[in-house]
Amino acid sequence: MKYLDEYRDGRVAAKILSEIERVTTRAWTLMEVCGGQTHSIVKHGVDRMLPSQIELVHGPGCPVCVTPLEQIDKAHAIARRPGVTFTSFGDMLRVPGSHTDLLRLKSEGADVRIVYAPLDAVRLAQQHPDREVVFFAIGFETTAPANALAVTQAAALGIKNFSMLVSHVLVPPAIAAVLQSPGNRVQGFLGPGHVCTVMGYREYEALAAHFQVPIVITGFEPVDLLDGVLRTVRLLEAGEVELQNQYSRIVTRTGNVAAQRLVWSAFEVCDRKWRGIGTIPKSGLRLRYELQEYDAERRFDVGAMETLEPAACISGQILRGLKKPHDCPAFGSACTPERPLGATMVSAEGACAAYFAYGRHRQEATR
């Protein structure tokens, strides 16, 4: 496929790799922010190709993984109600809450459905006026325009039996939180290419300048990722702090302004709890006041939830880049994609699921 295959070309990858080897003189720790990048890195073995001095730490950019347990328990409470059709992206279905998951609720008779696009949930509400259709609106800035479109369409068409359970998160506050955490080892970032497609990268220029850390906005194919590593290492080796845009075929400095306008017409910034990390100020989105009637939390009056996180799961430390999946005693034994203890084992973008899928059950003896 055009714009994909050429970025998987082994010949080009080998050239970039030898250039990385040539410029690297000491140890560097980089973080890829986005879970999609983590998945691609593990799938293609990008981390294993790199010189041993370069360590890639996996970031918190997996929306399914960081959706707080309270919101997942609320989703389950709403999905259980008679008359409710609960819709969600597919990878949310197996995520364990305190007591159950959406797939199990479906098997017990709840009307839980997977949608590909948020607009499909609005169409479903139109087709079934006798049902209360609820959409689980999760995601980062990449997904925010599509979710915003769903709720603004419902409002424009006067569809009253549609609502959203919102659990949106924002990347820049999470990068700041990583850099401010006491045990931080990250010296440079591969920035989230698709988030920046929507938002542009001005916020990341500010982060790079404020924290004096190089950030390279990077794509998702192996050649993109290696190019992102090369650019970041070059900056680190030269002692330069800069924002670079590796993904310039897709990302512009200002992003998609029309999509941003749509996002702000539906959402406003709020404090948000991240699963395994805790509350990060101004790190989330909630529905604007004018759209409150579409807020499923209000419509179904799901108040404060008492949550129960499995003690064995170390996903919080994995999401903060402090541990790797194979450091967890439950990884691959008590915790598998079929019977996950934590969300990082569920989503394809979760580090645990990626390590499991591509046979990373043990730390390599030599690197």
Partner 1 sequence: MCLAIPGKVIEVFQDRGLRMARVDFGGTVKKACLEQLPEAVLGDYVLVHVGFALSVVDPAEAERTYRFLEELGQLDEIHMPEGPA
Contacting residues toward partner 1, per CB under 8 A? 1-4, 6, 12, 15-16, 18-19, 22, 34-36, 61-64, 89, 91, 116-120, 138-140, 142-143, 145-146, 149, 153, 156-157, 192, 194-195, 197-198, 223, 227, 246, 248-252, 256, 258-259, 262, 347, 349
Residue 301 CA: distances (Å) to CA of 35, 37, 89, 209, 362: 32, 37, 23, 43, 45
Min separation Cβ 82 and partner 1, Å: 29
Burial-class residue 245 by CB neighbours within 10 Å (0-12, 13-18, 19+). buried
Please say which residue, 27 or 157, places its beta carbon nearer to partner 1. 157
The token pair that represents 291 in the structure block: 């759209």
Please say which residue, 116 or 289, places its beta carbon nearer to partner 1. 116
Min separation Cβ 261 and partner 1, Å: 8
Min separation Cβ 91 and partner 1, Å: 7
Q: What is the 3-state secondary structure (H, E, C) of the chain?
A: CCCCHHHHCHHHHHHHHHHHHHHCCCCEEEEEEEHHHHHHHHHHCHHHHCCCCEEEEEEEECHHHHCCHHHHHHHHHHHCCCCEEEEECHHHCCCCCCCCCHHHHHHCCCEEEECCCHHHHHHHHHHCCCCEEEEEEEECCCCHHHHHHHHHHHHHCCCCCEEEEEEEECHHHHHHHHHHCCCCCCCEEEEEHHHHHHHCCHHHHHHHHHHCCCEEEECCCHHHHHHHHHHHHHHHHHCCCCEEECCCCCCCCCCCHHHHHHHHHHEEEEEEEECCCEEEEEEEEEECHHHHHHEHHHHCCCCCCCCCCCCCCCHHHHHCCCCCHHHCCCECCCECCCCCCCHHHCCCCCHHHHHHHCCCCCCCCCC
Please say which residue, 39 or 299, places its beta carbon nearer to partner 1. 39
Min separation Cβ 347 and partner 1, Å: 7
Min separation Cβ 275 and partner 1, Å: 14
Please say which residue, 330 or 346, places its beta carbon nearer to partner 1. 346
Min separation Cβ 183 and partner 1, Å: 26
Min separation Cβ 345 and partner 1, Å: 15
Please say which residue, 118 or 316, places its beta carbon nearer to partner 1. 118
Please say which residue, 54 or 198, places its beta carbon nearer to partner 1. 198
**CB neighbours of residue 123 within 10 Å:** 16
Min separation Cβ 146 and partner 1, Å: 4
Please say which residue, 139 or 188, places its beta carbon nearer to partner 1. 139
Please say which residue, 5 or 301, places its beta carbon nearer to partner 1. 5
Please say which residue, 157 or 357, places its beta carbon nearer to partner 1. 157
Please say which residue, 5 or 306, places its beta carbon nearer to partner 1. 5
Min separation Cβ 267 and partner 1, Å: 15
Min separation Cβ 15 and partner 1, Å: 5
* Sequence-distant (≥ 6) Cβ neighbours of residue 315 within 8 angstroms: 65, 275, 276, 342, 343, 344, 345, 350, 352
